[in-house]
Chain A
């Protein structure tokens, strides 16, 4: 059963701590993406990766870091430099950069206090 998994569903951290959100896909997709959703706002792109060992900043990359060591995995680290980390984070993938349909995971809600 192919899809995208994100874990955990809910995550709580203290301010000043780095936290890593997991994203795994078994769709054999080349491209992967991280979005952030805040109340009343659309999805905003944090980082994307078109192939293994390559990734690009999106519109709101400050305070975040990613890695793409394997095709299936695209973890996102929310660093202590991110001023407003509390949000709903969504990971997505698509067949390739030029493929327009993105498949989304169930999301991780991060709360930082």
Chain B
């Protein structure tokens, strides 16, 4: 059973606009969340993280929001750039656990 879900397989956004990628999780024990970015034929690269003690974390154009009651997190990219076109994975972990659980990914296309 998929514990981390990204229900939108793809998203297209105009350059300069905001991209919002969503992620839902089912395990209430998850307390640390990551976003990774992946280009074709490459391994994922770490983008941004958030722990459950926060509801927002910002790094430049990237902001992650966490809604613990809804078991939902989102990644905002503002402004979107063509180089942001990639697959984005969210991942979740419990501090008592040994692994991350990954979502299925959302393919973002930023249109120039």
Residues of A within 8 A of B (CB): 4, 6, 9, 33, 35, 40-45, 48, 50, 56, 58-59, 90, 92, 97-98, 100-107, 109
Contact = CB atoms under 8 A, between A and B. Distances in A.
Nearest to A44: B102
Contact of A100 (B34, B42, B43): B34
A104 B42 CA distance: 9
A100 B93 contact: yes
Interface string B98-111: 11111111000000
21 contacts: A4-B43, A6-B43, A9-B41, A33-B99, A40-B9, A40-B104, A42-B101, A43-B89, A44-B102, A45-B99, A48-B98, A56-B98, A58-B99, A92-B43, A97-B98, A98-B95, A100-B32, A100-B93, A101-B49, A105-B43, A107-B41
Interface residues of B, number: 26
Interface in B4-30: 4, 6, 9
